[in-house]
Amino acid sequence: MTIVKTTWLAAALLASTALPVLAQTRAETLRHVTGAAINTLDPNIPGSTREAFGLSLLTYDRLLSFGKKQLDGKWVFDLDSFKPELAESYTVSPDGLKITFALRKDAKFHDGTPVTAEDVKWSLDRAVTANVLGKGQLLTGSLTSADQFKIVDAHTFEVTLPKPDKLALANLAVVYPVIFNSKLAKSKATAEDPWALAWLKENTAGSGAYIIESFKPGETTILRRNPDWNRGSAEKPASFKRIITQTIPEAATRANLVEKGDADIAIDLQATDAADLEKKGKLKVISTPQYNSITFVSFNNQMPPFDKLEVRKAIAAALPYDDMFKAALFGRGAPLYGATWADGKAPTGATFPIPQPLKTDLADAKKLLTAAGFPDGFSTTFSFNVGQAGTAEPMAALLKESLAKVGIKVEIQKLPDAQMSTLINEKKVPFFTEGIVAWLPSMDYFYRNFYIGPIRWNYASLDDAKITEWAQAARFEPDAAKYAALGKELNTRHFELMPQIPLWQPSQDAVMASSIDGYVYQFHRQIDFRDLSRK
Amino acid sequence: MSQLSITAKRAGWRFASSLPALFGVLVFTFLLMRVLPGDPAVFFASGPSAGKEEIEMIRKQMGLDKPVPEQLVRYLGDIGSGNLGRSLTTGQPVLADLKSRLPASLELTFSALLIALVTAIPLGVAAALRQGSGIDHLVRFICALGVCVPTFVSGLLLIYAFYYLLGIAPDPTGRVDIFTSQPPLVTGFLMIDFALARDWEGWRAAASQLVLPAFTMALFVVAPLARITRAAMLASLGSDFVRTARSLGLPPRKVIVTYALRNAILPVLTIAGIVFSTMLGANVLVEKVFSWPGVASYALDALLASDYAPVQGFVLLMASIFVIVNLTVDVLYGIADPRVSVE
């Protein structure tokens, strides 16, 4: 009896003392809810999810990270400015072929060993040599071989380029070229696995702002702040002591949790929920058009009838743009239609995507179809993947209705994600919708990666000699004016050929407690928690 | 003693005879997964820079570059050595995933079944005793309601009412409040582990987290259980031995509970066994709605991603559980009605 009593007493005492502690940690803890799962601790592993990319930005440092800029009053990452992370500073030689990094002398890995040029060399060698995702990405910045990386001394590191490449520095700031604790990683490597891929998948060997406290794939990941990390603003460690990322598959539940104040931030709510929460006004809702992404209607340009320019133009003239934008996204995003191009030429060439001079004109569509030899229209299928059903379904229904008016009969095909990827990879889908994202959204990057060659991301299967030539030339064009001129040609040609129809850039709706400050839209469309703080 | 040995022998024989079926399930699932459209390698190589090379790399990693018969032989060999492969969705070995997630599903299903039985049997008995009365109609109404409202609807409704509007229920995410520290892992059943750790605060947190999903699932299966109880009770109330017992002037309570209900319990047991196995697989929607880290939602995610290993592992697990449940029902039969175990 006494024992029972004392346990109760102890429990009561514990509870009473635990409460204030709990309340305090709650304020220093950030609870993030998401629909997807983190499946690896090393972003380089094939199959990594976007959430895994987000995590690696917190646990690992890179040489540099992107700066930020304002776009219509919202903070977004800036492709052209860099913040030092492990590199204190860098210099580019006048011919643009040599980049020299001066490394911080006070940076330490989580286990206390100092970060040296040797670690940087090992990590970058790994990114371009091992069977990792970094390999494919870094070659877009002319980083392809271990010979390009040189240790000058313990805190000086040199990268040489075969040609001056605008995206070389930017590529060193994306999620793949993370700097590993090479001594630790090497001690876990084996003869079959010299780059410790297996071990790093489940362990971290980084110097980042946060340390993994617990990692349950598909459930929760809990991070603890690294107090020694001083790469934040004003050379301070990150603001939150703990970060909990929790996987909650049901979007409505995520919205409820944020609204009730049980969760602090979510970025992947349904557009309706985000709009609703914004209207209620209790929470902070930051909607940033994803300026590095495009949602489009695409055709396989090699497949009849979409190999005919008039057919593509006819469909572009028959789409109910405004209705689709409202039905799919509740108007949350930036439209890429409805522009006016004075002389039929693109107004700018420095950037892509830009709004296209497209509007719904059924009479024109009918005329174009007749010119193409289909006065009575034709039948086709329109595909989208189940994962995008929320936005693609209403959009497809409106598209079907509108195209029927000009005689094109559309059968809607909803495919499981894996099946859709397979068919797209095999170039077997005639007419569909997809979304693309470019981490490094420069004009030439879009054209090189989405409009050239037999690769999967060339959704339209476009094969146009001029686009190929100009895009490749733009890549290495050092002169800004000449670059913009090439871009103007490309943008104009894109409109003339209409290989696919850019529709809009959807918004990233970040919904957070009103006390959260510092949100910046990032290239990988995840939250960089190092930016955030509580007022 | 002889009763026990007969039961044991029976159970052993039953188990042995279900092995070929398990093997069949294994091969069938394997082939089915490979017939389904969609190439997992392409799906997983969907990073911004993934090209042909990455796809080949993943294909090799999954062993998909080999001919199907060779894959099957390798797969069977792996199963023999207890290796269920690796999930690409979570990045973990399938066996570890299932091991950590099965207790969550079992805990939820057991609780739901318990709630369902505790509600359904009295309801069924009451309906049978007052056949055609208001109570009977009310029970029928409740049953119809339970069956026709899909679990995700009732789940979301319960969340909306008890969490969002009233604020009584804890946030409907996972097995325990995220700020409560987990008990040391012993059985994987949180209620038991918290009790073993004498952490009653945590036990309460876990229990309150369990209430809504368990009720959601129970609601769905009350109907078959209550209906079967009612029918079996009606049959046994109309039988000779009940009439005899009544005419002997035994107290009504004894007649109903000892004579009628004990005889009516056999079909209920059978249905409960079936209900349990189906619940375990079919509660995927409940697991999704309540972010419950169970096996069913795990298998669904894997299926959508054409992630072969977890789906195969899940089906194998379900088949094994089905065998075990049938075995248990068999044994319980013998206890409820000794005549059954006489060969």
Q: What is the pLDDT of residues B139-178, one digit of tens each?
A: 888 888 887 888 888 888 888 899 888 888 888 888 888 7
The one-letter amino acid code at A341 reads W
A426: three-class secondary structure by DSSP: coil
Distance from CA of A250 to the nearest CA of B (A): 6
pLDDT of residue B258: 80
Q: Which of A33, A46, A216 sits opposite B54 (nearest CB)?
A: A46
User: Which residues in chain A are contacts of B168 at CB distance < 8 A?
Assistant: none
* ipTM associated with this complex: 0.77
The answer to whether the Cβ–Cβ distance between A136 and B38 falls below 8 Å is: no
DSSP structural state of residue B181: P
User: Which residues in chain B are contacts of A171 at CB distance < 8 A?
Assistant: none
Q: Measured between alpha carbons, how far is B184 from A72 in angstroms, rounded to an integer?
A: 51
User: Helix, strand, coil: what percent of chain A each, to 5?
Assistant: 35, 25, 40
Q: Measured between alpha carbons, how far is A422 from A413 in angstroms, rounded to an integer?
A: 15
Collect all residues with Cβ–Cβ distance below 8 Å to B255 and sequence separation of at least 6. Answer: B242, B245, B246
Contact at 8 Å (CB) between A278 and A286? no
Nearest-by-CA chain B residue for A41? B91
For residue A526, which of A112, A161, A49 has the smallest C-alpha distance?
Answer: A49
Distance from CA of A14 to the nearest CA of B (A): 10
Ranges of chain A with pLDDT below 50: 1-23
Burial (CB count <10 Å: 0-12, 13-18, 19+), residue A192: exposed
User: Helix, strand, coil: what percent of chain B each, to 5?
Assistant: 75, 0, 25
pLDDT of residue A3: 42
A216 touches chain B (CB under 8 A): yes
Collect all residues with Cβ–Cβ distance below 8 Å to B215 and sequence separation of at least 6. Answer: B112, B115, B158
Matching residue, tokens 């733009």:
A474
Q: Measured between alpha carbons, how far is A329 from B224 in angstroms, rounded to an integer?
A: 42
Q: Measured between alpha carbons, how far is B5 from B334 in angstroms, rounded to an integer?
A: 12
Mutate to test the interface with B, among A5, A9, A50, A219 (most CBs of B within 10 A): A219
Collect all residues with Cβ–Cβ distance below 8 Å to A512 and sequence separation of at least 6. Answer: A258, A264, A265, A266, A283, A284, A285, A286, A519
DSSP structural state of residue A388: G
pLDDT of residue A12: 44
pLDDT of residue A151: 95
A313: three-class secondary structure by DSSP: helix
pLDDT of residue B341: 57
Contact at 8 Å (CB) between A422 and B39? yes
Distance from CA of B277 to the nearest CA of A (A): 24
pLDDT of residue B302: 83
pLDDT of residue B183: 80
Give long-range contacts, CB 8 A cutoff, 24+ apart: A47-53. Answer: A47/B44, A47/B45, A47/B58, A47/B88, A47/B91, A48/A133, A48/B47, A50/A524, A50/A525, A50/A526, A51/A245, A51/A526, A53/A175, A53/A524, A53/A526
Per-residue pLDDT tens digits for A327-367: 998 888 999 999 999 888 899 889 999 999 999 999 999 99
Q: Which of B51, B174, B201 sits opposite A15 (nearest CB)?
A: B201
pLDDT of residue A86: 93
pLDDT one digit per residue (tens) for chain B, 343 residues: 566 777 777 778 877 888 888 888 888 888 888 877 777 777 777 655 566 777 777 778 777 788 888 888 888 888 888 888 888 777 788 998 898 889 999 999 999 999 999 988 888 888 888 888 888 888 888 888 887 888 888 888 888 899 888 888 888 888 888 777 778 888 888 888 888 888 888 888 888 889 999 999 898 888 888 888 888 888 888 888 888 888 888 888 888 888 888 888 888 888 888 888 888 877 788 888 888 888 888 888 888 777 888 888 888 888 888 888 888 887 777 777 767 655 4
pLDDT of residue B273: 84
Query: What would the two tokens of residue A526 be?
Result: 């995840």
A243 touches chain B (CB under 8 A): no
Contact at 8 Å (CB) between A485 and A349? yes
Contact at 8 Å (CB) between A179 and A86? yes
Matching residue, tokens 């409740």:
B142
The answer to whether the Cβ–Cβ distance between B291 and A218 falls below 8 Å is: no
